[in-house]
Amino acid sequence: MSDIIKQNDSSSFNIETLEAFFDSSPIGVVIFHEGRIVYTNQVFCQSLGIPTEIISSYNLVELTNILDSDDRDIAIERFTKIGQGKQAHDKDRYKFITPDNTVRVLEITGTLVTISGKNYVIAYSEDVTSDELVRETTKRERKAYGLIAQAALSTESTKNICQNVLEGLIQTLHFDLGIIRIFDKERQVLYVLAHYGIDDDEVEEEVHIDDANYLTARTARTRQPLFVSDILKATESKERMWKAIRLGIRALIFWPIVGADNDLLGVINVASRTEKPLRKEDRSFFETVAGMFATIIERRKAEEQLKESQEQFIAFADNMPGPVFIKDHQSKVIFINRFMKDYPEKPYREGMSNEDLFVPRRAEELTIEDQKVLARGPIDRIQQTIGKDGKILTYRSHKFPIFREGKPPLIGGFSLNITEQVEAEKQREEAHARAEFFNDLMSHDLNNMHQGIMASLELIIGNESLPAHLKIIAERALLQVNRSVSLITNVKRFSMVNQGDFTLEKTDPAFSLTVAIEIVKQSFPNRKINIKTNINKNQFCIMANQFLEDVFYNLLHNAVKATETDDVRLEVDVGLTEKGEFLRMDFIDWGVGIEDKLKETMLLGFDEPVRRVSGVGLTLVKQIISQYNGKISVEDRVQGDYSKGSRFIIHIPHGC
């Protein structure tokens, strides 16, 4: 090389000789003298994407202008030292930004050559862009993955974890600022969880996902990332870029944080105040980091939800007025509520077994019971224990299996103190028994008294010498006694119906109606009663009980009383409704009828079974029909003319 230079005295070189020697070289070559480029070959120029004639006119400072800003000062200093003879040799890698914004990394070896007292710097360059990219990518990924690993193991809050990841990511990428937003699905907003390099007052706390003026909202809606190397050259609308421009941002990245089920979790955004070349490799890197970060966010959300559920369960269990526990499949206690922890009689604690808590026989019984629960399902039982004051307490206990996928089952249980309910039920039963006793006693004694009065009145009425006006008085008195007997019978029946202990059986309504007709006729021996019906035995079947006869009797009895003439005409029309679901029975009379206003009151009484608006008889009928899941109504026999008689209609579910 020195011979070639010697051929050209101080001011000019034999360019042809240099070209012949270096132009065919597979490595780049550039020669400096006093800070100016005196020669460069095609390989060097092509690696930078700049024509030879342009580079040939550069000096050292101009050449370093296409270096990455971090490398400029270092390159000038090093090559200046070589040119000044302060350093004979230097080798390093430098990052160049080509005119088309491509990053090229050249490994340049500079060597000092002194010819005729003049210093020349010969620099040999080798394009190591691919190798440097691998190095940087590996280094960057190692740092980023280390951040994610730390976040995954951290016990800090989700907010602090996001803050640490964001700061580390920005520093690793050599960006300046960033924001992490989390998506609130219920409110459809993206709220700030962490930010770095930007003042609080510059951050919009919440952005609605449908807001067209924010890039973060667009990224969330579309779930598509946004990479912008230079926003001044971007095709994105300026309305969305307004804030980035105001903050002096040149390059930015928006990336959606998406969960395993493609559920939107949030958006991560980093930005730089200088132009940044963003390559395909950067997208792949960011995609990997965002995916790993999404996994952490999902896990943290699940952990927080689990923690909240645990707190809610513990709060619920601790406020239960009785024991709550969970055992494992070997009957060891793994959870007890405050009630059991504070229980003075037994030292209940987690980790204890039945053998630790009870005498051997009782422990064996409970262990067998626990295994039955796991094998057969839940059990209920009533148990008694002695309280702090020595009184017997009654508890209703419930045990049930808790099955878990891939894990042994657990045994859950709780007990409720039902001592007061048991005492109240006992008192109710005692009161009911007393009421029944007095009811029976009253009915028996009153009926005995009525029998005596009725016998006396019948003897008086049968006396032919009795004056007519006294006979009328005696007959009226006998009628009132009969009404009193009927009232007592209905009250007794009403009491029996309201006990609630009834069983419905297959019943032939024709049989019950026949019995009721005979009883009604016997109740009015001095009246001619003609009851016409179209029902036959074994024609219909309903689910009823012995009180069905009382329903028919009361309706027929009331119809007879509503008829003023001695000759009583009644009809019972029976048939199925249109769909055959109900048996309809119309009890028709030709009596005095019921005014419309009274009908409304009677129907109101039917909807309120315990309200007596039309005598005990009709109230009793309503009660019984309700127990059959039926209904009752009243109409005029002749539509619009109540004075022509009444029609009582009952519907009872048909079929047995």
Per residue in 267-301, pLDDT (tens digit) is 999 999 988 878 887 888 888 888 889 988 988 88
Task: Given CATH 3.30.565.10, say whether it is the number of domain 502-653.
Answer: yes
Pick the CATH number of 135-307 from 3.40.50.300, 3.30.450.40, 3.40.50.1000, 3.40.50.2020: 3.30.450.40
Alpha-carbon distance values, 517 to 175, 416, 513, 522, 569 (Å)? 101, 53, 6, 9, 13
Give the span between the Cα atoms of 181 and 161, in whole angstroms: 13
Is pTM beyond 0.75 here? no
Using a 10 angstrom Cβ sphere, with 0-12 exposed, 13-18 middle and 19 or more buried, the burial of residue 65 is exposed
Note whether 415 and 401 are within 8 A (CB).
no
Rounded Cα gap, residues 417 and 423, in angstroms: 12
C-alpha 606/C-alpha 97 separation (Å) is 95
Q: What is the CA radius of gyration of the chain?
A: 51
Segment 327-340, tens digit of pLDDT: 999 999 999 999 88
**Contact residues for 154 (Cβ-Cβ < 8 A; gap 6+):** 160, 161, 164
* Average of per-residue pLDDT values in the chain: 85
Amino acid identity of residue 404, one-letter, is R
Cβ–Cβ < 8 Å for 504, 530: no
* Separation between Cα atoms, residue 274 and residue 173, nearest integer Å: 12
Instruction: Check: CB of residue 399 under 8 Å from CB of residue 391.
Output: no
Any idea which residue has 């690993």 for tokens? 149
Whether residue 402 is predicted with pLDDT greater than 60 in this model: the reply is yes
**Mean pLDDT, residues 626-633:** 92
Q: Which two tokens stand for residue 519?
A: 């009883």
Q: Round to whole Å and give the CA distance between 12 and 137.
A: 45
CB neighbour list of residue 582: distance below 8 Å, 6 or more residues apart: 576, 630, 651, 652, 653, 654
Q: Classify strands 582-589 and 641-653 as parallel, antiparallel or unpaired.
A: antiparallel
By CB atoms closer than 10 A (0-12, 13-18, 19+), residue 18 is: buried
CA distance 459 to 25: 152
Q: What is the pLDDT of residue 136?
A: 80
pLDDT digits (tens, 9 = 90+) for 339-395: 888 876 677 788 899 999 889 999 999 999 999 999 999 999 898 877 767 788 888
Q: Which of 249, 258, 264 is nearest to 209 (CA)?
A: 264
In whole angstroms, give the CA distance from residue 577 to residue 585: 10
Q: Where are the beta strands (DSSP E) in 295-406?
A: 324-327, 333-336, 379-386, 392-404
Residue 614 reports pLDDT greater than 60? no
Among residues 285, 248, 256, 244, the alpha carbon closest in space to that of 180 is found at 256
366 three-state secondary structure = helix
Give the position of tokens 């006119």: 57
Q: How many CB atoms lie within 10 A of CB 27?
A: 16
Q: Give me the pLDDT at residue 126, please.
A: 93
| Rounded Cα distance, 103 and 139, in Å | 17
**Has residue 246 got a pLDDT over 50?**
yes
Q: Residue length, the chain?
A: 656
Summarize pLDDT for 10-42 with one digit per residue, the tens: 344 556 767 777 888 889 999 888 888 888 998
Higher pLDDT, 549 or 429: 549
Helix axes 596-607, 615-627, angle to 10 degrees: 50
> pLDDT, tens digit, for every residue of 78-131?
888 888 888 888 999 998 888 887 888 999 999 998 877 888 889 999 999 888
Provide the residue type at 555 as one letter.
L
- Report pLDDT digits (tens) over 220-243: 999 999 999 888 887 777 777 878
Name the DSSP class of 629.
T
CB 222 within 8 A of CB 209: no
What's the CA gap between 219 and 226, in Å, rounded? 7
Contact indicator for 188, 210 with CB cutoff of 8 Å: yes
What percentage of the chain has pLDDT greater than the value 90? 41
> Which residue is it, tokens 């302060």?
86
Do 646 and 636 touch, CB atoms closer than 8 A?
Answer: yes
Pairwise CA distance, residues 291 & 146, whole Å: 15
pLDDT digits over 496-514, tens only? 666 656 789 999 999 999 9
> Residue 9 has what pLDDT?
41
What integer pLDDT is reported at residue 345 of this predicted model? 67
- Name the CATH architecture for the domain at 2-127: 2-Layer Sandwich (3.30)
How confident is the model at residue 605, as a pLDDT? 46
Q: Does domain 322-410 have CATH number 3.40.50.1820?
A: no
Determine if residue 188 is left, alpha or beta; phi over 0 gives left, psi from -120 to 50 gives alpha, anything else beta: left
List all residues 6 or more positions away from 182 whose beta carbon is below 8 Å from its beta carbon.
190, 191, 193, 265, 266, 297
**Who wins on pLDDT, 398 or 232?**
398
CA distance 185 to 521: 76
Report, as an integer, the average pLDDT of 597-602.
79
Residue 168: pLDDT above 80? Answer: yes
Query: 624: exposed, middle or buried (C-beta count within 10 Å: 0-12, 13-18, 19+)?
Result: buried
Planar angle of CA 247, 267, 245, nearest 5 degrees: 15
pLDDT computed for residue 603 by the predictor: 56
Q: Is the pLDDT of residue 526 over 90?
A: no
Q: For 420-452, what is each residue's pLDDT tens digit? A: 888 888 888 777 677 666 666 666 666 667 777
Phi and psi angles of residue 390, each rounded to the nearest 5 degrees, phi first:
90, -5
Q: Are 220 and 250 in contact (CB under 8 A)?
A: no
Alpha helices in 319-380 (DSSP H): 338-341, 354-357, 360-376
Has residue 654 got a pLDDT over 60?
Answer: yes
